[in-house]
Structure formats: structure tokens, C-alpha cells
Chains A and B, each alone.
Chain A
Amino acid sequence: MKTAVVVFPGSNCDRDVQRAISETLRTSVDMVWHEEKEFPGHPDLVVLPGGFSYGDYLRGGAMAARSPIIKAVRAHAASGGLLLGICNGFQVLTQARLLPGALIPNTSLTFICKPCYIRVEKTDNPFTYGLKEGEVLQFPIAHHEGLFFLPPKELKELEDSGRVVFRYADPATGKAGVEYAPNGALNGIAGIRNERGNILGLMPHPERATVAQLNGGTDGVKFWKSLEKAFVGGAF
């Protein structure tokens, strides 16, 4: 699976994603600078990593959504390529209107970095194809603006069309919802996909739960392997 990670000025999880994917899937990962106009050699997966793109002084992801590379990102997604936005990358996807909604400041109004638990809601897309519905994973979060927000009508549409992929949950009971969301996300939403299923945005960091012996656990490995399984198996 050919992978490219977009590097915006101010991205700071770009190298982490590169390491997580290359170590887990034994594949090389291209790093693509934001000023590029296209991706080298048609990647299968494009990742928008976490960080503070362009300093995020305006709004998380707002500037990045208008950077030169975004045209190529749109073209990649339009042709059915896989597009994953993690944390700031998720914010970029919403700002670029590639995914609905907005990520607004956490209810605590503080930055929060800690382990958190998310429940797999759907496995009908390439990103969670190899996971189990209802399975609870531990991925860390690290953000100031992670409260997923949509007006009630659109939120209902999103829910009804089954596009909520991850929800914050209690690992003991498996229950999910806003009460388990460290950031106050509506309906406890941690990750969503587009209609077609080839774009996923999520706030928690799977790459931080990938390297054994580090303090983030290893549930992220399941996520990357699932993605690879869907891709290699040609399920989508």
C-alpha cells in the first residue's frame, strides 16, 4: 500500500505517522511538502497528520485547507483514493468541506493529552474493515479543539446514514456517548467518514498507540493492519 503523508508547516505528527505506518506495514512512506501540486506516483493512502498547521492561529486547519497541496488531496479523494485525517488533519478535512462538521474547543477550554477509549461503530469502510463492531480501542488524544459539532439536523443525517465510525466509550461497559468524550464531542463522536467511505477523520491518534514499549499502548497496530487488510484484500 503506497502511502503519502502531507507535511504542512507546523505539522508535528508527520514523522510519527510515517514511523507507525512503515514499522507496522513494512512499507515506505513518502513525505510530501504542502507546496507540492501533486503526489509522487499515485499513493493509495494519503494521511493529513496532527500538529498546528500554519500555527493554527486563525482556526484549526483553516489555513491548511487552502494550501497548494489540497487540490491534489481533493483529486486523490475524488478518484477514490483513501484519505485519512488525524487530529489537526481531521480539522483540515472539515475546513476543506471534505467531511462535515467542525471541531471546536474542548468543553474544558484546555488542551487535553491523555489515553482515551473509542468504540468501533461501523466496519463498512476500508479503515475499520478488519476491526469488530463494538470493539473498544485505546488511542491517546492531544488537542485543544476536538469537540465535534454539527447542527441538529445535519447531525441526525450523519447518524442516520451510519457515517459515525468511532465514538468515545467506557472500556469497562462498552457504552459510548458524550459522557465519555473527554472533549464534549456531540454524541461522543471521535471519528466520521464521508458517504463513499474513502475519507476518514478522527481526533485520537492511532500512531501514538503503535510502537510497543512506548506509553500509548498498541491498539493502533490493529487499525493499520485493518486498513492494509481491506486494501490488499480489495474489499473496497
Chain B
Amino acid sequence: MAYKMDYRRVGLTDSEYKRINEILGREPNALELELVGVMWSEHCSYKSTRPMLKTHPPKGKYVLQGQGENAGVVDMGEGWGFAFKVESHNHPSAVAPFQGAATGVGGIIRDIIAMGARPSVSMDGLFFGDPKLSKTQNLAKGIVEGVGSYGNAVGVPIVGGKTYYAPCFTDNPLVNAFSAGFVRLDKMASSQTAKAGDLAVLLGSKTGRDGIAGASFASKELAEDARSSKPQIQIGDPFEEKLLIECCLDLLDKGLIASMQDMGAAGILSSSSEIACKSGCGIDIQMKQIPLREKMEPWEIFLSESQERMLLIVEKEKLDPVFAMARHYGLDCAVVGTVTDSLKYKVFDGEELIAELPIGILGDAPEVFWPAKEPAELPKRQVLDGSKLASADPEQDLLTLVGCPNGASKHEIWEQYDSMVQLHTIVGPGQPVAAVEVPDTKRACLLTMEAEPCKCWTDPYTGAAETMALSLRGLWLSGADALGMTNCLNFASPENPEHFFELQQSIKGLADACRALDCPVVSGNVSLYNETANGRIYPTPLVVTAGLLTDRDELLRAGATKDGDAIYMVGKEKGSLGASRYQDLKCGEPLGKTVEPDFEAEKSFRERAVKTARGHLADSGRVLAGGGLAVALASEAIASGTGLKIDLKPQGARELTLFSEGGARAIYAVPQQKTAEFEKTWAGFPCRRIGAAGGDRLTWDGMFDVQLGELRKTFTEGRQ
């Protein structure tokens, strides 16, 4: 048999091939082999990470839909659910930055539609290489334009995100697309509610040869000549997507859809098999009924990742109104199959049965347990030579941190995104926390996106825990309860035991932080094999955490400090310089560990921070993040347009007080008449008054004395 030799080509191992033979009781034919090969790829099956992902806490009092659906859903109250998810589009964006990033945005939006929600907000995590290289500049330009062109046209505001530069991303940039939407609880859709006799309807674009086998492409390292992978790139059409959104929402509103699923990786194959499998059914697909753009081989049809398609499951008697609705929106629509009770995935070419697989096989890739080994050089990464870190000129150090690529304003990026369409953005990009209205209520939904690649590189466990805690602190400080988290795990090949160790430890760090701090994980995505012949990326778990403020008047903002306010710092005076922005700039590479997680301190912080916001005890507040206390003060002064005069004598080495990172720490601007109540609220937690707001300079005795204008110019224009 010719196919037998072929199983490696579709990415299957010897033992996996053997397992298929056992399940089928025969050898698979060529088409079946292609289908199983893709469904058992890392990208579709999560076979390397599934056992570990099970350790994430799935439950919480706000969780309506946890993992296993197209997106997680949390309860925003007053009948509103909030569906949200983040997904990577790393490899496509490395090869075709504009289309790769654009279709990343489009793909995640369809996950939100599939929950029945109107896509309401997007955010993007972008990780670029050395900004001085023209390669990075070109990639970044294409990726940003791709995100913008799709998001702007489809009419979903991009309210925030994260842009991060490190040389390890030069050949392998990361594009993590987040989208979310509000859904009335009684209109929530599901991919688990198909039943025998229902029809499978394909809505949207015709199927073509774009993005064939993109899932396999994402499941191995990037080839050195990445451009040879061009056919695996999808092409986006935001106009078609906008019509899909409106059409699907209209169909759901009128109760015309029994079940639905977006078409992402492995297109028709994965969407139709998942919906049948999750619903406990089988499905017959009529290949000839699938509208095609061009002549294609059967396996190409099933694996095509043509964009802007949805799979609907429709009861027979509702077919006519569904077709009428599709016509209204000018969308293609075709019946391509029938749900059965056979528990089989069958493909017909006319009368001829050309593939028959047990429905379970497609979603049932054998788990892979890669060996893990602590990286031999990890101890070396964790050694930090304090003598190299002395701050001889704190003012210059501050300006460098404010103006360096990771510190400077990203307005040139986010001004290219429509951040206001849909008329519900309360706090948009350029702020530590984004906020949008929960429709027709006084409530606000808050979002933070965080990633700390340097800290995860030197210690994946504490780095990941700190990343998670940081995303929560932002919400708490704003006054919100954290409802749930979604994450994107960007890592190198799991086949290398040292890389797998980093992955394991990072997942553990996230899971421990989430469990200790009551934040369930409702959805997620894993992107492995982020490496090229030139090297690998730092371990980069990215998290997006959603919070709820029942009264948006209680939102405590950053950048709202007023003249005369007292400036407070809460939390320990010092964190760690390990893998901090300051340390990285001084040494040229991340070294040293960040702080060990202290969940009890986090909880104490949470209680007081939420009280502070809800009691209107402060005008402004800001969590300490990159660049530590000094940069937080500078950011606050710039954003508020007011000077700050700081009077704090550092205990020990001044760079630790000025620039260290990590741990539950924040600054607040408190009106004079509220200082007593503020201090009372923070009793039992480190809290000290460190200065006052006023004037037009940022001044810290013995440290720096900078004109606000210069600070703003450095932040806005950057400084190499």
C-alpha cells in the first residue's frame, strides 16, 4: 500500500499510525490518512499539552462556559454573558505579515460569533525582534497594517494590547489575537447541540486552495526560507466577515440555528467532526455539495482554511428562512451534510463512500508525554551580578527606560486601529487597563493583557506566576472583580526536553496563581514550535484577564492625578531587578529571577485595592510594572499632565527602589481630605506616603529632576 509509507508525510509517528490501524481494524485509505494526520497534529489536538492544561482551574462563580467550546463565557450580570478568547497566528504572520495578522484577527472573531455573541472588543499581543533591524520594521509594519485593516473594516474596536520587543522574536514574531463579545444568556450558541436528522450548512465564502493544511504548518518549526510556505497562508476579507457577523446574529436571534461552529484550523474537517463528536452524533458530508472556488482534491477541500466560513447546524424545516437570510446578506450558503446517529464521520463523493472514520478518532489524538529536563543553562540565566547594576545616573537611567522600545509610547501602532467603533469604549489603548460598557447597563467590563517573556526565560515558574498576578492587579486596582482568564502559550518545540520543562513550569506558574487568586481559566490556545534555525523564542505565556465593575462610576483610572494630591506607594519598597527592564538594558540580556509569588500578599492587596476604588479614595492609581516605581511615577506624571515631587530615602541600593519589578505594588494619588481614610484602608499592608503632585517637573531628591515636557517627548518619540 502506497499510503502506508506516507503517514510520516502527514505528520504521524509510527505508533500513531499503528493506533489508527487498531482503531479502524484496517489500514486507512489516502483521504482518511490525511484527515487523521491533520486532526492529530499538535495544532488541532493539543496532544503535548492536554494533560498539563487539565491542571488549570476551570471553575469559578462567574463561569458560564469553560474550556471545550469555541470560547469561554463569564457572567457579567443583568443577563449578559461575555465570551472571550485569545489565539496565536504566529507562523502565518512570520511568512506573510499582513495577511497572517489580518486573518488572525478574523479567525478569533469567528470564535466569538460561534458563541452567539456580537464581537465587541479586540486586543492584540505583538512580539517583535530587534527594532533596529529593517526586517523587524517591515514585519511590524505589515502585521500592524494587517491587524488594523481587518479590525477597522469589520467594525470591532481594538481597545488595547501589548507590544514587546526582544531579539529572540526577530525571525519568529508572535501575533496573539484576542477577541470578545457580549451575548444575552438566552441567546448563547453552542457547538454541542446538533442532533440526528439536522442539516450541516456552510455559510460564507467558497472553499479554495488557501491555507491548505495550515494546522500542520503551525505544528512544526518555521523553515529557514519561510516564504516557501506561502500556499499555507489564508487571505482575509473583512467585508465578508462583517456580513457573517450580522447574518449569524440575525439567525440566532430568530432561533434558526440549532448549533454552530467556526471554521478555523483544518476547516470543514475539524468543524464538522467537532460539532458531531461534541453532540454525540455522527455526520455524513457530501463532498460535491461544498461550493468551491477552484478544482480541488478531496483532501484539499477538507483541510482548506479559506476564511470567513461558518458551519451551521439547521433543523430541516428551518432551512428556507436560513437561505432567505443568507440571500439578504448576499452570502453563499449550501447544505453540505446531514447529522446522523451513526457515530461515524463519513464522506461521500456522490454515491461513493470515500472515507469512514469513527467520530471519536478525530478528536482523540493519543496524548504525548515528552520528557522534561531542567535547562542546563537555567542556573546561569538566574545569576545576577549586582555590581553591574549600579545606577550612576538615575535621571539618565529613567529616561532610557521611558524611551526604550519597550517603554516608549506605542501610539504610532494603536492610532492605526479603530478603538472607538461600536460606541462603548470607556478606556481605550495606551492605558494599563482597557474598559468597555456592558450593553445597556451601568456595568463596565475591564481587560488586561500581560506577558513577561524575559522573566519566563530566567525562571518559567515565577515568571508565569508574576505575569498572571500582574494582570489581576490591574483589574483589582481599577476596582473590578476578576471573572476569568484566557491564555496563549507561545513556546518552542516540546520535543526538546529543556523546552518542554519551560512549558510545564510556565503552565504550573499560571495554574498556581489562578487557583490561589480565584481566577478560572475559561479558554486558551497553545502555539508550539516557535523556533527557527537561528534560535527559539523566550517562553511567552500571554494572558488576558476579564474583570467586572458593577458601577462604572467606581472605575479608578490611571493618569488622573490632580495637583495637590498626596502620592502613596503600597506594597514592598523593593521587588527584584532579575529579568527587569532595567536589568535587561544594563546587561544586554535577561538575567536573574523575578520575585517568588506571595499569594497571601496578593490577596491582601486585592482586598484593599478594590476598597480604595469603590470608596473613591484616590483620584488615580497605577500598578508597578516594567521599569518599576520610577517608571510608574513618570508614566503617571506624563498621563496626568502634572508634576510629582517625591521624597523617599531608599533603603539600600537605590536602583532596587527605583527600578525593581514584581510583587503586589502600586502608586496612588490621593486627595488631601481622603488621606486618613486611605491610610486606614491600607492598614496591615506596606503603605507609605512618598510625595505630592504639582508643578511641571518630576523630582525625586538625589535621583532626578526632569521637566515634564522632556519626559513626555522621550516617551512619545522614544530614545535608542
Spell out A's residues near B (CB within 8 Å). Answer: 9-10, 12-13, 15-16, 19-20, 33, 50-52, 54-57, 110-114, 140, 142, 144, 205, 207-208, 210-211, 213-216
Contacts and interface: CB of A to CB of B under 8 A. Distances in A.
A214 B437 contact: yes
A211 B426 CA distance: 10
30 contacts: A10-B242, A12-B242, A13-B155, A16-B423, A33-B328, A51-B155, A52-B155, A52-B242, A55-B237, A110-B145, A110-B148, A110-B416, A111-B152, A111-B416, A112-B415, A113-B152, A113-B418, A113-B419, A140-B420, A142-B418, A207-B423, A208-B423, A210-B423, A213-B426, A213-B553, A214-B424, A214-B426, A215-B420, A215-B428, A216-B425
Given A15-B422, A111-B149, 4 more contacts: A13-B155, A16-B423, A111-B152, A213-B552
B223 interface: no
A214 B423 CA distance: 8
Contact of A142 (B237, B238, B420): B420
Given A9-B243, A113-B417, A16 B238 contact: no
Nearest to A35: B328
Interface residues of B, number: 33
Given A215-B427, A215-B428, A10 B417 contact: no
A224 to B, nearest CB: 14
Nearest to A51: B155
Contacts of B240: 55
B156 to A, nearest CB: 9
A20 B422 CA distance: 11
Interface string B262-273: 000000000000
A50 B427 CA distance: 22
B239 A19 contact: no
Nearest to B442: A213
Contacts of A9: 239, 242-243, 329-330
B423 A114 contact: no
A142 B425 CA distance: 14
A142 B552 contact: no
Contacts of A207: 423
B474 to A, nearest CB: 17
A177 to B, nearest CB: 21
Contact of B421 (A13, A144, A213): A13
Contacts of B238: 52, 55
A117 to B, nearest CB: 16
Contacts of A16: 421-423
B153 interface: yes
B647 to A, nearest CB: 33
B426 A12 contact: no
Contacts of B419: 113
A214 B242 contact: no
A57 to B, nearest CB: 7
Contacts of B553: 213
Contacts of B437: 214
A144 B150 CA distance: 13
A140 B155 CA distance: 16
B617 interface: no
The 4 A-B pairs of least Cβ separation, nearest first, read: A12-B155, A55-B239, A16-B423, A52-B153
Contact of B420 (A10, A112, A113, A213): A113
A103 to B, nearest CB: 15
A113 B421 CA distance: 10
Nearest to B149: A111
A140 B419 CA distance: 10
B608 to A, nearest CB: 26
Contacts of B243: 9-10
Contacts of B427: 215
Interface centre among A33, A52, A207 (most CB of B within 10 A): A52
Contacts of A142: 152, 418, 420-421
Contact of A56 (B153, B415, B418, B424): B153
Nearest to A114: B415
Interface centre among B152, B420, B425 (most CB of A within 10 A): B420
Nearest to A17: B423
